[in-house]
Chain A
Amino acid sequence: MTLSVNEILNVDMLNNTFLKNGIVRIYDFLTTSSAEQLRQCLESKIDYANAFHLAGMNRQASDDEIAKLNNETRLGLYNDIYKAAAKGSGFLYGRHKIEPDSKPELTNALSLLNSAHMLDLIKVITNKNSLTHADGQATRFRVGDFLTRHVDDIPGETRQIAYVLGMTENWHPDWGGLLQFFEKSGQPTDSWSPTFNSLTLFDVNKIHSVTSIAPFSEKKRYSITGWFRS
């Protein structure tokens, strides 16, 4: 099985938008059948680990491990995560790093992003000629999950461009899960509602967050995210 992309016809426009805003979204990125295969894989074939930030450390636990906790411990865990989140730090969401032994849909998606053709396109769109490769993870945000404001350009890291390949169909903005960008003051600049089969690219120095998923969301927010690096 291979995944393939649609031809991108408006590269100049995407480039202009990226240079102006540091953010750009490419719609209808994969072919219809490729997007469908990847969606099915993300929804039903992946074991996500729930990643969260607690007591200054990044930690993770499987759905099973969390389910096995007694009610009091589980509530305590969420309370501790929420306490940090109230002060603007931390996250809670499901993730699976794409490794060579991941499901073929995922390794294929990552290979696609690392193809010479795609790297060239991303370089042209972003003017980042030093890009050499991309990493990736599958992510799942369900009710209560969130990612507070942060920047991705950790010193010593080689991250240049962050990407989000949205894989949730028919998302409604009421449900939250927005990719939201901010000024340093906390004033929002752009908010992007999850859109199926769209590839959003943004500069790693952009302050951003994923807004909390409302309890009435009947869907989970799936995507493949990662960084193009140099």
Chain B
Amino acid sequence: MNLSIANKNSIETLVQCYREHGYVKVPNALVDGAAEEIFANISTQEQWNLVFDHNGTHQDLNNIEVAQWEQKDKDNLNHLVNEQAAYGFQYFYETIPIYDIFHKNLMPGHFFNEIVKFLNCDLTLDFFRNLTCAPEITFADAQITRFSAGHFLNCHRDDVDNKNRIAAFVINLTKDWRADWGGALHILNDDMQIEQSFLPTFNEINIFKIPVEHYVGYVTPFTKEHRLSITGWLRSGKNPMAL
């Protein structure tokens, strides 16, 4: 299967939108069948890292182990996560760190490596460079993310020191998401009002310039599906994970 960006959208229109707003959505972004192929490989994945923050430190749990916890321990975890979410930065969702998996060769031969290669091939990086008018982009890092009922990613700006992040991207791989389920990507303006909301839409890429306040809205308790995507940053400089 050929994983590559389709050229169905006018690059001029995309560039204009990105220049004007600092964000853009690319509908029908990958060539026919590519998003389906990625989806098929991700949707069967059982093991994920359940991630959240505790007092400024990133926490990683094995989702299969958490599922086997007693209810009171699950409740405690939810309490811990939500306590910090009320007035501070917090997140709660599942992830697969494919950028690390690829560069540390943790899963040789696995499909996940193909995703990282696709994101970092010249054709893909050129597409991103053109779209964001940032020829200095040298690589993309990436993770696969899965949001289910109760998950969220609170407001943040993504501008971490020394990471050289130019723009963030989200490749949406969720089919038939309903707007009522939450989980939209919201971009805020300087007044903390919502400038733009992106609904999870299959085979659509959302790209936005860093830094900007943004968040993934709380996924409602009545949501039955998973919100799947590949997210990451387009970065400049030397890839610290490359050999």
Question: For the complex, is B201 an interface residue (Cβ under 8 Å from A)?
Answer: yes
Please give me the residue from chain A that is nearest to B180 by CB atom: A148
Taken together as a complex, chains A and B put the C-alpha atoms of A186 and B150 apart, in Å, by 21
Q: Are B155 and A174 in contact (CB under 8 A)?
A: yes
Interface string of A179-199 (1 = CB under 8 A from B): 010100011101111010000
Question: For the complex, is B193 an interface residue (Cβ under 8 Å from A)?
Answer: yes
Q: Which residues of B contact A175 (CB under 8 A)?
A: 86, 218
* Contact among B180, B192, B224 with A88 in the assembled complex (CB-CB below 8 Å): B180
Question: For the complex, is B26 an interface residue (Cβ under 8 Å from A)?
Answer: no
Please give me the residue from chain B that is nearest to A178 by CB atom: B194
Taken together as a complex, chains A and B put the C-alpha atoms of A215 and B80 apart, in Å, by 12
A-B contact count (CB 8 A): 93
Q: Are B197 and A85 in contact (CB under 8 A)?
A: no
Taken together as a complex, chains A and B put the C-alpha atoms of A144 and B150 apart, in Å, by 11
Tell whether A88 pairs with B178 under 8 Å between CB atoms, given A174-B154, A187-B199, A188-B184: yes
Taken together as a complex, chains A and B put the C-alpha atoms of A151 and B169 apart, in Å, by 33
Shortest beta-carbon distance, A85 to chain B, in Å?
5
Tell whether A86 pairs with B182 under 8 Å between CB atoms, given A187-B201, A216-B86: no
Interface string of B201-243 (1 = CB under 8 A from A): 1000000000000010110111110000000000000000000
Taken together as a complex, chains A and B put the C-alpha atoms of A195 and B87 apart, in Å, by 17
Question: For the complex, is B101 an interface residue (Cβ under 8 Å from A)?
Answer: no
Q: Are B180 and A193 in contact (CB under 8 A)?
A: no
* Contact among B83, B87, B152, B198 with A214 in the assembled complex (CB-CB below 8 Å): B152
Q: Are B180 and A176 in contact (CB under 8 A)?
A: no
Within 8 A of A (CB), among B175-205: 178-182, 184, 186, 188, 192-194, 197-199, 201
Please give me the residue from chain B that is nearest to A182 by CB atom: B179
Within 8 A of B (CB), among A185-223: 186-188, 190-193, 195, 209, 211-212, 214-218
Shortest beta-carbon distance, B6 to chain A, in Å?
20
Chain B interface size range? 35 or more
Tell whether A173 pairs with B194 under 8 Å between CB atoms, given A191-B186, A212-B182: yes
Q: Which residues of B contact A85 (CB under 8 A)?
A: 180, 220, 222
Shortest beta-carbon distance, A149 to chain B, in Å?
6
Q: Which residues of A contact B201 (CB under 8 A)?
A: 187
Shortest beta-carbon distance, B190 to chain A, in Å?
14
Question: For the complex, is B17 an interface residue (Cβ under 8 Å from A)?
Answer: no
Tell whether A178 pairs with B217 under 8 Å between CB atoms, given A191-B197, A216-B82: yes
Q: Are A174 and B199 in contact (CB under 8 A)?
A: no
Q: Which residues of A contact B83 (CB under 8 A)?
A: 216
Q: Which residues of A contact B220 (CB under 8 A)?
A: 85, 146, 212
Q: Are A212 and B218 in contact (CB under 8 A)?
A: yes
Taken together as a complex, chains A and B put the C-alpha atoms of A88 and B87 apart, in Å, by 30
Q: Are A188 and B180 in contact (CB under 8 A)?
A: no
Q: Are A186 and B218 in contact (CB under 8 A)?
A: no
Q: Which residues of A contact B134 (CB under 8 A)?
A: none
Q: Which residues of A contact B184 (CB under 8 A)?
A: 180, 188, 191
Interface centre among B78, B90, B184 (most CB of A within 10 A): B184
Q: Are B192 and A173 in contact (CB under 8 A)?
A: yes
Question: For the complex, is A45 an interface residue (Cβ under 8 Å from B)?
Answer: no
Q: Are B179 and A149 in contact (CB under 8 A)?
A: yes
Q: Are A173 and B215 in contact (CB under 8 A)?
A: yes
Tell whether A193 pairs with B86 under 8 Å between CB atoms, given A188-B199, A212-B220: no
Q: Are A188 and B192 in contact (CB under 8 A)?
A: no
Q: Are A188 and B218 in contact (CB under 8 A)?
A: no
Shortest beta-carbon distance, A151 to chain B, in Å?
14
- Top 3 A-B residue pairs of the complex, sorted by shortest distance between their CB atoms: A82-B222, A216-B85, A214-B218
The 19 listed contacts between A and B (C-beta, < 8 Å) are: A82-B222, A85-B220, A85-B222, A86-B181, A86-B223, A146-B220, A173-B186, A176-B182, A178-B217, A180-B197, A188-B179, A188-B184, A188-B198, A192-B193, A192-B194, A212-B182, A212-B221, A216-B82, A216-B83
| A contacts, CB < 8 Å to B | 82-83, 85-86, 88, 144, 146, 148-149, 172-176, 178, 180, 182, 186-188, 190-193, 195, 209, 211-212, 214-218
| B contacts, CB < 8 Å to A | 78, 81-83, 85-87, 90, 150, 152, 154-155, 178-182, 184, 186, 188, 192-194, 197-199, 201, 215, 217-218, 220-224
